[in-house]
Structure 1
Amino acid sequence: VDMAVGIIVGTAFTAIVNSLVKDVLMPFIGLLLGGISFADLKFIITAATADTAEVAIAWGMFIQKIIDFLIISLTVFVMVRSINSFRERFEAKKEEENAAAPPPAPPADIVLLTEIRDLLKK
């Protein structure tokens, strides 16, 4: 069940990151580069004709996918690091509480038997 939830959340998160890159970051970067849309950047190998489609290397889309990957990777890294840090602090606090607690007092019958033993030694 945890894995299914992770996959669903991951898919939704991917859609959000794709929208962030495509709709927010890439237009801003395109504006900085003189109004060029990254999705349209490509090397045309063979132009389209009436009978054939265009053959091109879409390097702009490749750059966009690299930015998608970097944002997703950074976010996952930060999330995993935060979760690990939280877990370490929780475990350290738990160990601290266990170390600070005094050992439990022995039962009354053990105390009585210890006193009897000590008296017999004398």
Structure 2
Amino acid sequence: MIQEFKTFIARGNVIDLAVGIIIGAAFTGIVNSLVVDLINPILGLMTGGVDFTDKYLVLSGSVADGASLGAARDSGAAIFAYGSFLMALLNFLIVAWAVFLLVKGVNRLQSLAVREKKAEEAVAPTGPSQEELLAQIRDLLADRASPV
């Protein structure tokens, strides 16, 4: 069982997945900063200073007027936190767009590498084919065998 585990861990897919998860976690921090530090203030400017993250509706229970979302949640009231959802949706769209651009860039680099490789193969001088070489060897051997 230990040997199977070593084989499983040593496979490239598992290592690639681990690297992807680590980079994804780091990327999440960048995206969160992008949303909180850059996009939210711009949205706030466009909407007259409205911050969506604290927007909610009280479905049942009582919450003091003007209470923050955290205070509303702590009060035990049933709340509909649509602002948090909108920000999570915006966060998802930003991550999806960034991943799309990343994949598009990687695909472009791969296609350039393939094109360069094909260009190198097309330019590289080609020697005689295997059949031509064998025919030359046959002819040389026939010349040696014939009396002069």
**Which bracket does the TM-score occupy, shorter chain normalised?**
0.7 to 0.9
SS in 2 for 1:111: helix
Judged with a 3 Å threshold, the aligned counterparts in structure 2 of structure 1 residues 27 and 113 are, in CA distance, closer, same or farther, namely same
Alignment length (residue pairs) = 117
The corresponding residue for 1:64 is 87
Gaps of 5+ in 2: 1-14, 65-74
1:55 and 2:78 matched: yes
Judged with a 3 Å threshold, the aligned counterparts in structure 2 of structure 1 residues 54 and 16 are, in CA distance, closer, same or farther, namely same
Shift in Å, 1:2: 2.1
1:113 and 2:127 matched: no
Q: State the distance in 2 between where 1:21 and 1:7 align.
A: 21
TM-score normalised by L of structure 1: 0.79
The corresponding residue for 2:106 is 83
The corresponding residue for 1:4 is 18
Shift in Å, 1:81: 1.0
Cα RMSD for the two superposed structures: 2.8
Gaps of 5+ in 1: none
Task: Work out the percentage of aligned pairs sharing the same amino acid.
Answer: 34
SS in 1 for 2:122: helix
TM-score normalised by L of structure 2: 0.67
Q: Partner amino acid for 1:114? A: D
Q: Are the equivalent residues in 2 in contact too, given 1:22–1:64 (CA < 8 A)?
A: no
Q: State the distance in 2 between where 1:38 and 1:112 align.
A: 82
The corresponding residue for 2:11 is none
